[in-house]
Amino acid sequence: MKNLNLYQKIFNMSYKVAIIGATGAVGNKLLSTLIERNFPLKELYLLASNRSEGKQLKFKNRKFIVQSIEKFDFKDVDIAFFSAGSSVSAKYAKEAEKKNCYVIDNTSHFRMDKNIPLIVPEVNHSELGKMRGKIISNPNCSTIQMLVALRPIHNINRIKKIIVSTYQSVSGAGQQAMNELTNQSKAIIEEKELRIENFPKQIAFNVIPQIDVFMDNGYTKEEMKMVNETKKILDHSIEVNATCVRVPSYISHAESVYIELENDIDLTSLENALNNGEGVIYSSSDYHTPLDSTGQDAVYVSRLRRDLKKENAFNLWIVSDNLLIVAALNSVQIGEALIKKKMV
């Protein structure tokens, strides 16, 4: 890996990394992203629950044995990527932090903790320099792709209001949810009994306007994540309203977004901002579908247009690979930011 040698030369060292939840869908994406980004690894530890202990996973043509997190000591780890669910992070993240290990947590457990930074590197990496501990939270998948797209606009004309409707693939609910879509689709085609296990209603050939549980205010937990995380990351004063929908596709999320700006602005200025936005690919002549973004490490923006009545309001369409850019890539980019800032 010629680029790996260059990367190690730049930083003059390499790092001991652990992946918690290595056998899951996001864990697999983390592994491939570490390779694609030429992350400077010295040692790699793959961790999961007791039932996955002893499994073998390949990384750079080498086999690694999955270890149980319950028996693992983080004392020799520099950076740990947690992606095994909130309960696992709640139990082990602080333990890793006590061993002087940086924790990049991909669950919701620490996201709204006022003492823990919620980071999208393209948006607010400067917050890393203000952190008190060693735990960093990775935002919700739909929040990340929306804010990567909106940050370039917010930089030139403050966003006052966001109304977003998401169309989220089943991979956001994990591997078992992906299997359920396959099994339900097959059952319907073969006219066999259909089983509902991971979703509140049938997902095959259907859409479900519910992701996570309902809150007392009538919004779902997923919708409130987008509201609260956007305020914490981008601007506390922004009004945010979200409707999150699960759709019967496997990978990549889409979002229809309405924004109101502080001042009116011409479309060309917004297009220029998007064209220069970090991590953004903008098209004015065509639109992108979730399939177009699958396997790609960018947030795709298209269908930018003025609102029909409000002068300072616009609509746009955003898609990205939720497993790659949203879960895995954002986490790895946080790790890279720690290295560049010489914090680890």
Over 70: is that where the pLDDT of 178 sits? yes
Question: 2-139+327-340 architecture in CATH?
Answer: 3-Layer(aba) Sandwich (3.40)
Residue 259 is classified by DSSP as: E
Token digits of residue 263:
């001042």
Q: Given strand 299-306, what is the order of strands in its sheet?
A: 239-246, 159-168, 253-261, 313-320, 299-306, 280-282
Share of the chain above pLDDT 90, in %: 89
What's the pLDDT at 4?
39
State yes or no: is 244 an active-site residue.
no
What's the pLDDT at 48?
94
What's the pLDDT at 175?
87
Region 314-321 average pLDDT: 97
CATH top-level class for 143-322? alpha beta
Region 150-156 average pLDDT: 98
308: Cβ contacts below 8 Å, ≥ 6 apart: none
Least confident of 20-34, 88-102, 139-153, 279-293: 20-34
Region 300-311 average pLDDT: 97
Region 27-55 average pLDDT: 93
Cβ-contact 245, 211 below 8 angstroms = yes
Region 17-26 average pLDDT: 93
Region 278-297 average pLDDT: 96
What's the pLDDT at 326?
67
The span from the CA of 127 to the CA of 121, in Å, is 9
Over 90: is that where the pLDDT of 163 sits? yes
Over 60: is that where the pLDDT of 135 sits? yes
What's the pLDDT at 63?
92
Q: Which tens digits make up the pLDDT trace of 214-225?
A: 999 999 999 999
What's the pLDDT at 247?
98
Active-site position among 125, 154, 253, 288: 253
Region 83-88 average pLDDT: 93
State yes or no: is 253 an active-site residue.
yes
E strands in the chain: 15-20, 41-48, 56-59, 62-65, 67-68, 79-82, 102-105, 135-137, 159-168, 239-246, 253-261, 280-282, 299-306, 313-320
Over 50: is that where the pLDDT of 148 sits? yes
Residue 213 is classified by DSSP as: P
Q: Which tens digits make up the pLDDT trace of 91-122?
A: 999 999 999 999 999 999 999 999 999 999 99
Active-site position among 125, 141, 244, 288: 141
If we measure between CA atoms, which residue out of 305, 259, 281 comes closest to residue 153?
259
Question: Under the phi-then-psi rule, with left for phi > 0, alpha for psi from -120 to 50, and beta for the rest, what region is 105?
Answer: beta
Cβ-contact 170, 181 below 8 angstroms = yes
Over 50: is that where the pLDDT of 160 sits? yes
What's the pLDDT at 13?
63
Region 51-55 average pLDDT: 92
- pLDDT, averaged across the chain: 93
Boundaries of every domain in the chain: 2-139+327-340, 143-322
Q: Does this chain's domain 2-139+327-340 share its CATH topology with 143-322?
A: no
Residue 326 is classified by DSSP as: I
